[in-house]
Amino acid sequence: MKFEIGNIVKCNRNRENFDVIGEKGKIIFINSRAGHEYLIEFFSEIENGHEGNSYEIIGKDGHCWWVDEIDISLSEPEKTKLYGIVQFVNNVNSGVYK
């Protein structure tokens, strides 16, 4: 398997005629025996999204879809304000500002 649970990924292809190109989400389950191997919980609600369609796997309703490895790629982390704060704290803890 190319990806792991917790990876942030981006859709590179539309699924079943639904426009999800560019949508980002987190892998919440992997099933190598299923038709679609990765369950993605997208950050925004998607057309025909669900909660995982399983009694054991529950994601946010309307935000999940099963996809294949070919449909996704790793997403680059976005540098947000929070990222800057975390980076600053890491620098302080590592002695950069001593």
Residues counted in the chain: 98
What is the chain's mean pLDDT, rounded? Answer: 77
pTM over 0.75: no
- What are the CA-CA distances from residue 88 to residues 78, 92, 95 (Å)? 16, 6, 11
pLDDT digits (tens, 9 = 90+) for 42-71: 999 888 778 887 767 788 888 888 888 998
- C-alpha to C-alpha distance for 59 and 47, rounded to whole angstroms: 15
- Residue 73 three-state SS: strand
Region 66-82: mean pLDDT is 77
Region 81-88: mean pLDDT is 56
